[in-house]
Amino acid sequence: MSEPRVSVVICVYTEDRWEDILAAVASVRAQSRPALETLLVVDHNEALLDRLAKEYKESDGVRVLANAGPRGLSAGRNTGIAASSGEIVAFLDDDAVAERHWLRYFADGYADPRVMAVGGRTVPVWASGRRPAWFPEEFDWVVGCAYRGLPRGRARVRNVLGGNASFRRTAFDAAGGFATGIGRDGDKRPLGCEETELCIRLTRARPDAVLLLDDRAVIHHRVPEAREHFRYFRTRTFAEGLSKALVAQSVGADKGLESERRYATRVLPAGMARGLRDALLARPGGAGRAGAIVAGVLTAAGGYAVGSVRARRGGTAFSVAPVGEFEGRLREPGGPRHD
């Protein structure tokens, strides 16, 4: 049986990340298991669309596309899925680089036909050169990275993390695409959870589906200086609470908060204990990490409460459209617009 072909989707939105985008594409092109194609989906930024089109005009295997849906990461990913040709669709953040065997480990996971998604491990690259002493590893999801508490090796999970993930193309036929109205849109709060909602929806549509995390599929994700401060930590944890409320509204609190309960009752108390122990031993950052865990829990809980009230009042909504709806609106630079 031949190995599945893999399309890689990188969603981009700002010229401020120009060098990061080039590095991300270069890391895909350097894979030990070559990608079928790399799709750069530009989120409503004509200048960046044209610039990238010129950059990769003579490059085989790299296509530049405009987001065919509303502004935001979810619609950008759906555009990439609709344009892809591979049996597997992998997603890479625009400010990350993949290790050489990233796609090989993804592809290996699909030897079992029940496997519908495989995610990897995302390692932070701190702008300051080192992790802030107060920043707990249990909250590395705040900066889009793998956090303490995730399973090691290759293991079944409820959901993969979107910036370093892959899906079987047929998963989107079964469950639809990423929901719009949830997740990042470039202007609002740093929301998330769109991949969580998709994965839960997928396992409902396909009860036999297996979702895996393989921590050998590694990418390195740049963390800008602004995200190393407590202000961003607080904003992001509050936004996560808002997002979890939307997911719970969609799929029910039992499934929507299944993994979070274990995280809150086992992983975080252990992290607090380590922080307090380090504080007693006069190790740097111990008290700060314990305090950040408490603050993160309280802030996320506050966001969840606010999001739940908004959801009950009908103030928030998101929608799921078949990926096929994006196919007729695909536009490459110079092509017709369908705004």
Question: What is residue 57's predicted lDDT score, i.e. its pLDDT?
Answer: 93
User: By the 8 A CB rule, do 221 and 284 touch?
Assistant: no
What is the CB neighbour count within 10 angstroms for residue 158?
Answer: 15
| Measured distance CA(41)–CA(92) in Å, rounded | 11
User: By the 8 A CB rule, do 35 and 3 touch?
Assistant: no
The position carrying tokens 């750069």 is 40
318 burial level (CB within 10 Å; 0-12, 13-18, 19+):
middle
Alpha-carbon distances, residue 220 vs 95, 145, 269 (angstroms): 9, 9, 28
Q: Residue 210: what residue type? A: V
339 burial level (CB within 10 Å; 0-12, 13-18, 19+):
exposed
What is the CB neighbour count within 10 angstroms for residue 28?
Answer: 22
DSSP track, 46-83: HHHHHHHHHHTTT-TTEEEEE--SSSSHHHHHHHHHHH
Question: What is residue 186's predicted lDDT score, i.e. its pLDDT?
Answer: 47
pLDDT in tens for each of the 339 residues of the chain? 578 999 999 999 999 999 999 999 999 999 999 999 999 999 999 999 999 999 999 888 999 999 999 998 999 999 999 999 999 999 999 999 999 999 999 999 999 999 999 999 999 999 999 999 999 999 999 999 999 999 999 999 999 988 899 999 999 999 999 988 665 554 455 566 789 889 999 999 999 999 999 999 999 999 999 999 999 999 999 999 988 888 877 666 565 567 788 899 999 999 999 999 999 999 999 999 999 999 999 999 999 999 888 777 775 556 676 777 777 678 777 655 544
The position carrying tokens 């939307």 is 246
Q: Which backbone phi and psi does 121 adopt, to 5 degrees?
A: -105, 130
**Tokens standing for residue 21:** 């985008």
| Measured distance CA(137)–CA(135) in Å, rounded | 7
